[in-house]
Structure 1
Amino acid sequence: MSAEDEDDISVASSDEVDDEEKKDDAEEALVTDLSDSDVCTKYQEASRVVNLALSGLVSRCMPGARVGELCKFGHDVIDAACSKLYKGSSGAPGGGGSAGGGNSNKGGGGNKRIEKGVAFPVCVSVNDVICNRCPLASEETEPLKAGDIVKLDLGVHIDGYISVAAHTLIVPSSPDSTPTDIPDEVGNVAVAAYNAMLVAAASIKAGAKNVDVTKAVQRVASAYGVNPIASVRMHQMKRYVIDGVKEVALKDPTADDLEAGEEKVEECQFEQAEVYAVDVALSTGEGRPRPSGELRTTVYRRNVEAKYRLKVKASRALLGEVDRKFPALPFTLAHFEDERAARMGLTECVAHGLLSPYPVLHERVDARVAHFKCTVLLLPSGTTRVTGLELPTYFVTDKEADEETKALLAELEEVAAKKAKKKAAKKKKNSKK
């Protein structure tokens, strides 16, 4: 090789370094929190899709409906709604388009590519099953029946900005009927979980600490005579990060919990411009979930920090597809065209930590479980709840919350009433134009 050739290589390498430095500088300059109005808009748009999908699923939870079909319906709603957002080159919402799947639903046209779609697979968990139930199309599932307690859980992202929600309902006997003869313990746990979510959401504000939120949830649960589900966590969410470093536990772990493998959550403080998933699951049982021995785990997340040279061809194929379609956010095996091939590649990927499972968790068979989740934005004006449906009116209880919780709930109702009144007045004014 001549000295001239070496000089050419040296120049090329220098240019590549400059390009990398420019790229790093651009990434550092990119604002990805709520201090940017475009980021706020993307969270709001993702939240609208979440609420739309959740409402659609509630209407489909009827006797005879199957869990797998409900999950597919939810994914179809999310894909269809996301395809209409951020289609153009300006990065603004609006327009139409085709839907992709999972985390790689991209906006078309223009110079800017906007990924959008499922941020957490639609899961439909029935009765003693707590969460993460998203069966494969090939699996046989029992149809829903009147009186079943159903927990819906899902997430959506726009450009990596994630909104999530969960909701609990009882399957009615028919589309035009309302569930009746609900056991007292079911009303207790549902009202407790919903109120605990509201209290937790209001307590997550700039300057507050996670330990205070944990105490508030425990206070609500105690008043209604139910238990927080151990291992359930509220998480900070960032761009393409659904389980952030900052966490909130639903309960302080006991010695038994620690012995069973529970970890104590590190104390942290909330800051303005952060986003949190307020996740509350309560039970009339012990509150100690266990992996299901019968229901297949289908939800996984790529662990980008893990490195291993896979030996099995099916494993390499699976990981390659995951890296292309679901590089950061949770996915379900139901999103793969060839389920059998995907299952074949799982064992090695999970064994070496390349994929992290979200196992199907359940309580004891006679326990009643309620699960509610919402997304909150810590804005300069205060904490704003952007996802989640109202508590179904058929969930009632004769138990009373403690005085501190009562006062906070009354304050939240007053604020909500003022917002509703203001919104109605604005709508009336616009209708006259």
Structure 2
Amino acid sequence: MATETQEIDYTLNNPDTLTKYKTAAQISEKVLAEVSKLCVPGEKIVDICEKGDKLLEEEIAKVYRGKKINKGFSHPTTVSPSSYVTPYTPLKSDEAEAAVEIKEGEPIKIQLGAQVDGFGSIVCDTILAAAEPKEVIEGRDADLILATHYANELLLRLMVPPGLLASGTDEEKAKAAAAKAPSQAKITDLLQKVVKSYDCNLVESTTSWLFGRNEIEDKKKIVLAPSEGSKGEGVPEVGEVWGVEMGVSLGSGKVKQFDNRTTLHRRTTTTYALKRPSSRKILSEVQKKFGTFPFSLRQLEDERDAKTGVVECVRGGVFRQYEVVGDKDAAPVARLLTTVAITKNGLTKIGAPPALDVSKYKTENKITDEEILKILEQPLARNTGNKKNKKKKKTTKEGGAEEKESE
């Protein structure tokens, strides 16, 4: 007899799946906006992370009340300073790191996410920390933000399956659909042209992942500017949800591992006979609270015990640790992460950082490559007749198309 789990369709063919993704995304976007307000010079990063997690918990508690649906974090609140590439979440019990404060003018990467019934949405935005908001941002700060924005918009368009939005005769549509999706080498080449226009570089091995139920690193991935030995696998297809990441550096884009303690982990599917009581204790706590989604050691009941118990969990392969990685040249880095769904009507940003007002960023640099400008003019999805939330996109004088569609 088939079990209940086998009977449920967890693909995007089931409208409930997309609803759960969107519910998680709405929470993620709302909390991201609130955490962004907290990121001002002089504030301690660990305090911001804790406040962000509390906000996530409060918002998650408001949805699907009274229903037996698993819900929680898909990613804890992380706040990464200027040259940090990976999500950063310090501990209160590490005195030196607990004292780390946000500095004036540095690009701060905020990443967090919620999940409903195992369907997670993760978002990341980069903001320039300032005691007082600036009306106009110029120079290298503007270059970094614009390069990241346009590279991200280009990557999203390159992920739309060939021919999906084609118009014209049946023959023209069939020809467009028969075209091959761009290789990951081609994608990297085009994106490098975008960021080079602003005298920036892609961050080495920036990776976008296929999402699944209870899984944020599924069987497909796109790796940009891959390091030696790393490569992407597969191409985006209709019916899939992806976490699309963009990383840009004002330096070479090469990365190195920092000396910071690893505090971000996630449970794997590996089983191992843990010997230490502290290890078994935190494994049980993680399974109950976070499942297979990432968590911070500071989210566990006893932070000091967690630092001890996690060692055996990592050694036995029960936990995967996310090392703290940053720019090799200590150059400023910007990152974006968008959760997208690919449907028969195109690509939808389910959960995304807020739309960038490009008019606030002034620089002498701009995109001039005609191939890139042409791709940036393309829509992400076809107009299905719902005009309520759609506006026309405009071409900016910085040299790209600013997407104004909102779902």
| Range class of TM-score, shorter chain | 0.7 to 0.9
**Residues 328 and 218 (structure 1), Cα distance of their counterparts in 2 relative to 1, 3 Å cut:** same
Match of 1:235 among 172, 185, 209: 209
C-alpha separation between the residues in 2 aligned to 1:77 and 1:37? 27
C-alpha separation between the residues in 1 aligned to 2:153 and 2:189? 14
Check if 1:146 corresponds to 2:104.
yes
1:100 alignment partner in structure 2: none
Check if 1:128 corresponds to 2:83.
yes
C-alpha separation between the residues in 1 aligned to 2:346 and 2:256? 37
1:163–1:375: 8 Å Cα contact kept in structure 2? Answer: yes
C-alpha separation between the residues in 2 aligned to 1:210 and 1:134? 34
**Residues 220 and 83 (structure 1), Cα distance of their counterparts in 2 relative to 1, 3 Å cut:** same
C-alpha separation between the residues in 1 aligned to 2:9 and 2:262? 36
Offset of 1:403 from its aligned partner?
Answer: 1.8
Offset of 1:269 from its aligned partner?
Answer: 2.6
Report Cα offsets for 1:231-285 as digits up to 9, x if no partner: 220001011101111101112x3xxx31xxx41223x232211001110011122
2:243 alignment partner in structure 1: 277
Check if 1:371 corresponds to 2:335.
yes
Offset of 1:180 from its aligned partner?
Answer: 5.9
2:30 alignment partner in structure 1: 52
Give the letter aligned to residue 254 of structure 2.
R
Give the letter aligned to residue 47 of structure 1.
A
1:216 alignment partner in structure 2: 190
Check if 1:166 corresponds to 2:124.
yes
**Residues 162 and 333 (structure 1), Cα distance of their counterparts in 2 relative to 1, 3 Å cut:** same
> Which stretch shifts more, 225-234 or 334-343?
225-234
1:310–1:348: 8 Å Cα contact kept in structure 2? Answer: yes
C-alpha separation between the residues in 1 aligned to 2:304 and 2:313? 15
**Residues 59 and 202 (structure 1), Cα distance of their counterparts in 2 relative to 1, 3 Å cut:** same
C-alpha separation between the residues in 1 aligned to 2:218 and 2:282? 25
C-alpha separation between the residues in 2 aligned to 1:181 and 1:313? 53
C-alpha separation between the residues in 2 aligned to 1:206 and 1:127? 35
1:204–1:210: 8 Å Cα contact kept in structure 2? Answer: no
1:31 alignment partner in structure 2: 9
Give the letter aligned to residue 320 of structure 1.
S
1:137 alignment partner in structure 2: 92
2:353 alignment partner in structure 1: 388
C-alpha separation between the residues in 2 aligned to 1:385 and 1:362? 27
2:157–2:378: 8 Å Cα contact kept in structure 1? Answer: no
1:40 alignment partner in structure 2: 18
> Once superposed, which parts of structure 1, at least 4 consecutive aligned residues long, lie more than 6 Å away?
413-416
Which segments of 5 or more consecutive residues in structure 1 lack a partner in the other structure?
1-20, 88-107, 426-433
Q: Report the 3-state secondary structure (helix = DSSP H, G, I; strand = E; otherwise coil) of the residue aligned with 2:339.
A: strand
Match of 1:178 among 90, 115, 134: 134
Check if 1:199 corresponds to 2:164.
no
Offset of 1:365 from its aligned partner?
Answer: 5.1
C-alpha separation between the residues in 2 aligned to 1:219 and 1:249? 16
Q: Report the 3-state secondary structure (helix = DSSP H, G, I; strand = E; otherwise coil) of the residue aligned with 2:254.
A: coil
Report Cα offsets for 1:46-77 as digits up to 9, x if no partner: 11111101111111111222111111121122
1:218–1:250: 8 Å Cα contact kept in structure 2? Answer: no
2:300 alignment partner in structure 1: 336
C-alpha separation between the residues in 2 aligned to 1:348 and 1:269? 36
Matches within 5 A, 1:274-353: 274-293=240-259, 295-304=260-269, 306-353=270-317
Q: Report the 3-state secondary structure (helix = DSSP H, G, I; strand = E; otherwise coil) of the residue aligned with 2:113.
A: strand
**Residues 115 and 396 (structure 1), Cα distance of their counterparts in 2 relative to 1, 3 Å cut:** farther
Matches within 5 A, 1:397-416: 397-401=363-367, 402-412=369-379
Give the letter aligned to residue 154 of structure 1.
L
C-alpha separation between the residues in 2 aligned to 1:62 and 1:27? 46
Larger Rg: 1
Offset of 1:413 from its aligned partner?
Answer: 10
C-alpha separation between the residues in 2 aligned to 1:164 and 1:245? 18
Check if 1:263 corresponds to 2:230.
yes
Q: Report the 3-state secondary structure (helix = DSSP H, G, I; strand = E; otherwise coil) of the residue aligned with 1:344.
A: helix
TM-score, structure 2 length as denominator? 0.83
Q: Report the 3-state secondary structure (helix = DSSP H, G, I; strand = E; otherwise coil) of the residue aligned with 1:131.
A: coil
Offset of 1:181 from its aligned partner?
Answer: 6.3
1:98 alignment partner in structure 2: none
Offset of 1:198 from its aligned partner?
Answer: 1.2
**Residues 410 and 22 (structure 1), Cα distance of their counterparts in 2 relative to 1, 3 Å cut:** closer
Q: Percent identity over the alignment?
A: 28
1:77 alignment partner in structure 2: 55
Offset of 1:179 from its aligned partner?
Answer: 6.8
Q: Report the 3-state secondary structure (helix = DSSP H, G, I; strand = E; otherwise coil) of the residue aligned with 1:122.
A: strand
Report Cα offsets for 1:199-243 as digits up to 9, x if no partner: 111221235356254443233223333221122200010111011
Give the letter aligned to residue 2 of structure 2.
K
1:131–1:153: 8 Å Cα contact kept in structure 2? Answer: no
Q: Report the 3-state secondary structure (helix = DSSP H, G, I; strand = E; otherwise coil) of the residue aligned with 1:218.
A: helix
